[in-house]
Amino acid sequence: MYTKEIEVRTGHVAVVHDLTKDAEAFLTEADAADGLLHVWVPHATAGLAVLETGAGSDDDLLTAIDDLLPRDDRWRHQHGTPGHGRDHVVPGFLPPYATLPVIGGVLALGTWQSICLVDTNVDNPARRVRFSLLAG
């Protein structure tokens, strides 16, 4: 197994951050062949999604999260900025992990799919992401 952790600066706004190029660079560094890429976000307020980016889907996802989990005072978890408790619920909908096939050293993603970090926590501008290659 080969593993590496990177830092991603997400800033102070909710964001869908495309990790695909980072994952591809990791696979090149790992001299990957066939196996599985496991992506892990060790945070209680962030998750991962595989989706199309750049055509509005990333903004649609953030809008859906806001609609489903409003940033208001209904949350029992009450620290940080107002409504921050909902950020702790996000990983229940978008898990902090993803496992993807690697074939011939290349991610086996669909045509429009990207691996994305979804961070709605405006209180934490830096995130860690761990890539692990499980070789076949």
Residue 3 lies in a domain: no
Q: What is the CATH number of the domain that holds 64?
A: 2.60.120.460
Which one, of 124, 50, 45, lies nearest residue 77 by Cα? 45
The tokens of 119 are what? Answer: 């961070």
- Domain hosting 106: range is 11-135
Confirm whether 123 is domain-assigned. yes
Identify each DSSP E strand in 10-125 by its residue range: 15-18, 35-40, 46-51, 97-103, 106-107, 114-119
Rounded Cα distance between 78 and 84, Å, is 7
In this structure, is residue 6 part of a structural domain? no
Residue 105 falls inside a structural domain: yes
Residue 1 placed within a domain: no
Distance CA 128, CA 77 (A): 23
Give the 3-state secondary structure of residue 7. Answer: strand
Residue 99 resides in a domain: yes
Q: Please, are residues 115 and 8 in contact by the beta-carbon 8 Å criterion?
A: no
User: How would you write the pLDDT of the chain (136 residues) with one tens digit per residue?
Assistant: 899 999 999 999 999 999 999 999 999 999 999 999 999 999 999 999 999 999 999 999 999 999 999 999 999 988 889 989 999 999 999 999 999 999 999 999 999 999 999 999 999 999 999 999 999 7
How many domains in the chain?
Answer: 1
In a domain, 2, yes or no: no
Q: Is the entire prediction scored with pTM above 0.85?
A: yes
